Structure formats: structure tokens, C-alpha cells
Amino acid sequence: MTMITMAEAINQALVYEMTQDQDVVVMGEDVAGNGGVFRITVDLLEKFGPDRVMDTPLAESMIAGCAIGMASQGVKPVAEFQFMGFIYPAFDHIINHAGRLRNRTRGRLSCPLVFRAPYGGGIHAPEHHSESTEALFSHIPGIRVVIPSTPARAYGLLLAAIRDPDPVLFLEPKAIYRKFKQNVPDTGQALPLDKCFISKTGSDVTIVAWGAMHAEAMHAADILEADGISAEVIDVATIKQLDMKTILTSIEKTGHCVIVHEAARTNGVGAEIAAEIAEHGLFSLHAPVKRVTGFDTVMPYPILEKKYLPNADRISKAVREVL
């Protein structure tokens, strides 16, 4: 049994798929010689050579646009944005082209690519390095947004994302890149996209989370368990398109729902989940849905980031409020 971190699991998935599929290439700033600023692509250059592992010039619009062109030819780029805060120059290509090339050409061309980016707070990084803006991308038709929460899910979901014939934005919660390890057998087994995972079953409340907040939700469930409160924890994993069926089924059972995300509250993905529950699960609820989120402020610099980010205490407190 080899216990590995999420960082290692992502690397393991890249190596597996690049070995299996000659069309898969890796590109981005500092991904080749340096193995990525988070060391996620370490040793890929040595293993697969400079034709398949490419340091790009410093330009995100170029990375996205070029990856789209490659993908139209059936090359499968896994392109890295160094931090989520630096994706925005690429937004034009993501929304105007990646998300609609298939649609615009009536299926003649497609865009089988993965955009990877570390995201989220908790590592005392400088400004612009710590925000979570998954909601911006979750509003774009034609792309998937996937966020792993454990090493095993990172491995299985990244394989699925690379194999998927459409563009996937794969956001990696950098706070937990190396926080804990799991046994992740290198079997090449993908996990399903478009599906939530039930990480812990429970009967009193459903806690919905993703990314680094998933570990906080699990921790909150432990705290609550000690007080005899049984929480079910759902890892959303694919943020777009949402698997509401799993969430609604859980709420039918528990009658309570707390949604957790570190992104700002207004128009966050939590709002969409709550709206779906209001439309399709209202009569399952015994109390209003509650959100535990970041605030509608600019993501604060490191000195206040702990005050901004939700944690197990805030989550368990919210659960007690709805019960």
C-alpha cells in the first residue's frame, strides 16, 4: 500500500494517462523544467520529453487559446494556470471558445482539454493567490468544473477529466495538496464525472461541500457525532453540472441542509444548490437551508484569511442552528 498526497496523486494520474495515451500533453508556466510551482508536474519532462511537456511563455490567454487549437486536432492538452487568480486573461477563450466550439460547429470540432489550476485559501499566499471563483466558471455552458477533495478522488477525477471529450476546468484545493495521504492504487480507474460522492452517511443533516471545505465538513461531522448528531457529508466534486439527485435524495432522508464553500456568498455555487432545493426539495426540509461561506469581500491578505475561511467550528455551529 502506498500512501500519497493529493499532489502526488495528480502527478500519478498524469503519468498514467500520458503513458497510455500519446495524445495527452502537458503545458503551462514552469511546468516542465521546474515541475510546476507546486511540484505537481515534477519529472514529467524527464519521462515524456519536451514535445509533450511544454513550458510556455508567460501568457494565460495564449495558454487557453493555444490549448483549444491543439484540442481541435485531437491532441489532449492538460494546461496549467499557475494560480486561479491568473486565469482571467484566459476567460475570453474559456467562455467564448472552449465552452462552445462543439456547439458552434454542430459537433464537427470539439475541445477535449483539461485546464488545471490550484485554487483557494489557507496557505498564506500573497494577494490574488487565494480566492475561489469556481462560481464564475460554473455559469458557463459547455464546460465542466470539477474539484477534488481527497488524493483518491483527485486521481480518479483527473483521469476522467482527461478522458472526457469536452473541456473540463479542474480546480485543485491547494491548501490540501499535501495535508493528508491516502492509499491510491495506480490502476488507471477513473471516477465518474457529474456525480456527487457521499463521503459519510448520516440521518440528521446533510452537509454539502467541496474542495478544501470537504475536510472541514468531515471534521464538523465528527464534532457533531460526539454530541449525538448524525451528519451526512456530500462531496459535490463536479460543480458543474450539479448532481442534484444525490443531494435531494439525502435531504429527503435528513430534512436539513448546510452548504459550505469558501468562495464569497453572493451568487456562489451554494446559491444554485439552495435554489434547486427550493424548487425540488422544499417539502423535504424541516428548516431553512443554511450557507457557511466566505464573505462578500475581496479575499483578505494572509493576516485575516483565517477570519474569512469557513471551518469545522462554523460548520458545526450552523448545523446546530438548523436542527
Partner 1 sequence: MKKVAEFFVEYFQFLDKDSKVVDDLPEFTNDRGFLISLYRSMVLTRIFDEKAVRMQRMGQLSTFPSSLGQEAVMVGTGAALKKEDVYCPYYRDQGVLFRHGVTPKELFIYWSGDERGSAFSGAREDFPIAVPIATQSLHATGVASAFKIRKQPRVVITMCGEGGTSEGDFYEAINLAGAWNLPVVFIVNNNQWAISVSREAQTKCETIAQKAISAGFKGIQVDGNDIIAVYDKVSQAVENARNGGGPQLIEAITYRLSDHTTADDASRYCPKDNLDKAWDEEPVERFKKYLEDYHDFNESEDLAIKDECSKEVDQAAIDMLNFEKPNAESMFDHLYENFPEALLVQYEELIAMNKEGGK
Ligand X SMILES: Cc1ncc(C[n+]2csc(CCOP(=O)(O)OP(=O)(O)O)c2C)c(N)n1
Nearer to ligand X, 61 or 311 (CB): 61
Compute the C-alpha angle 213/215/220, nearest 5°.
90
33 binds partner 1 (CB under 8 A): yes
One residue of 205, 308, 315, 319 binding partner 1 per CB under 8 A: 308
Task: Find the shortest distance in angstroms from Cβ 124 to partner 1.
Answer: 5
Burial (CB < 10 A; 0-12, 13-18, 19+), residue 39, is middle
Nearer to partner 1, 88 or 179 (CB): 88
322 binds partner 1 (CB under 8 A): no
107 binds partner 1 (CB under 8 A): no
Q: C-alpha 300: how far from its chain's center?
A: 21
Q: Closest-CB residue for ligand X? A: 86
320 binds partner 1 (CB under 8 A): no
Contacts of 276 (CB under 8 A, 6+ apart): 242, 244, 247, 248
Compute the C-alpha angle 207/170/160, nearest 5°.
90
Task: Find the shortest distance in angstroms from Cβ 162 to ligand X.
Answer: 23
Task: Find the shortest distance in angstroms from Cβ 235 to partner 1.
Answer: 23
Nearer to partner 1, 81 or 210 (CB): 81
Task: Find the shortest distance in angstroms from Cβ 277 to partner 1.
Answer: 21
126 binds partner 1 (CB under 8 A): yes
**What are the angstrom distances between the C-alpha of 199 and each of 206, 236, 246?**
11, 10, 12
Binding to partner 1 by CB under 8 A, coded x per residue (else -) over 58-77, reads xxxxx---------------
Question: 291, 256 in Cβ contact below 8 A?
Answer: no
Nearer to partner 1, 222 or 313 (CB): 313
Question: 286, 255 in Cβ contact below 8 A?
Answer: yes
Question: 260, 199 in Cβ contact below 8 A?
Answer: no
**Phi-psi domain of 246 (left: phi exceeds 0; alpha: psi -120 through 50; beta: other):** alpha
47 binds partner 1 (CB under 8 A): no
How far is 32 from 30, CA to CA, in rounded Å?
6
How far is 191 from 284, CA to CA, in rounded Å?
29
Nearer to ligand X, 86 or 91 (CB): 86
Cell of 39: 511540484
Task: Find the shortest distance in angstroms from Cβ 127 to ligand X.
Answer: 10
Length of the chain: 323
Catalytic positions: 129
30 binds partner 1 (CB under 8 A): yes
265 binds partner 1 (CB under 8 A): yes
Q: Residues interacting with ligand X, by CB under 6 A?
A: 29, 58, 60, 82, 86
Nearer to ligand X, 88 or 276 (CB): 88
Residues at the interface with partner 1 (CB under 8 A): 29-30, 33-35, 37, 55, 57-62, 85-86, 88-89, 124-129, 265, 295-298, 300-308, 311, 313-314, 317
